[in-house]
Amino acid sequence: MTMNYRPLGNTGLKVSEVSFGTWAIGGSWGATDDQQSLRALEAAIDAGVNFFDTADVYGDGHSERLLAQATRGKTDRVHIATKFCRRGDIRDDETYSEAQVRAYCEDSLRNLGRETIDLYQVHCPPQSVLEDGRVFEVLDKLKAEGKIRAYGVSVESVEEGLICLRYPGVQALQVIFNLFRQKPLTELFPQAHAQGVGILVRLPLASGLLTGKFTADAAFAPDDHRSFNRNGESFNVGETFAGLPFERGVELADQLRWIADGRGTMARAAQRWILEAPEVSCIIPGFKNTAQLQENLLTLDTPGFSPAERERLQQFHAEQVAPHIRGPY
């Protein structure tokens, strides 16, 4: 298993094409075990993973602090992206003021034990904040001061992503993209690539649906977003099961079992499909333990898809999946 590295747009960073998100080890995915999390982070770094995505709200800074522990003494070769704005009221202009953004940035720097954040991302703000654009002026200042190396935006929809591309300082977009959400392929990815903007792919397995392991009667812990945000009760519905009603998602995943043929598992196949998009810088699946992490890393050795298979998957998405997705897409 050999790690491959891709440019993160024009940031100057090269990131492992299989990188990892740390929402699950921070909280909101059921019970966590810090020692398991730290062992998994160490295993990832040993395997050549050099990029992790986190946010100040993942366990109220807990995942940032875990990353600080795991990467101590390795800050020159392990890059970290974090996010801000959701500790405040995302609809309040004050949340995006220079004073408040500076405070968020300093808190994350302290949690991470770093002097510079490699990629600082606005964390799924309302579209109006992106259209206004003043938050990017603040980020330009932080970049000029060396507090951040580059900045980007975690978006919920293609439309939001296209708005971000109007601003030349935006160097990365974090998007939901998987076999159940293929819309970014058409317009957003080509335009981002043309502008030298990196693409981070979150929820590559649609909150686990694309592992093929769930049944319609599966239950999740009360503190797992797959329980408390199943229908968008707490944040955007697209963040949970790609915006699909859970039972429908299980049915659709069942129809995709064929992708595992010759590729080991559905999860590896689903993530290999994403990495075949040349515009993608990396996928950032979540994990809770070393076994889950190693399963995701096996994506690196997974065979790709033929043009006919890709066409079949595109048609499946258009006809069977897209009509059932809820929320901005």
Mean pLDDT of 186-203: 98
Predicted pLDDT at 30: 58
Residue 294: C-alpha distances to residues 35, 68, 260, 298 (Å):
16, 21, 17, 6
Cβ count near 26 (within 10 Å): 25
Residues 89-111 pLDDT 10s: 999 999 999 999 999 999 999 99
Helix (H, G, I), strand (E, B) or coil at 123: strand
Residues 257-314 pLDDT 10s: 999 999 999 999 999 999 999 999 999 999 989 999 999 999 999 999 999 999 999 9
**Whole-structure pTM over 0.85, yes or no?**
yes
Burial status of residue 217 (CB atoms within 10 A of its CB: 0-12, 13-18, 19 or more)? exposed
Predicted pLDDT at 25: 87
Domains observed in the chain = 14-324 (3.20.20.100)
Predicted pLDDT at 27: 65
Mean pLDDT (the chain, rounded):
95
Mean pLDDT of 32-36: 86
58 part of the active site: yes
Residue of 5, 58, 96, 151 marked catalytic: 58
> How far is residue 248 CA from its own chain's centroid?
23
Predicted pLDDT at 259: 98
If pLDDT is split at 50, 70 and 90, which confidence band does 62 have? very high
If pLDDT is split at 50, 70 and 90, which confidence band does 234 have? confident
Residues 145-179 pLDDT 10s: 999 999 999 999 999 999 999 999 999 999 999 99
pLDDT at 29 over 60: no
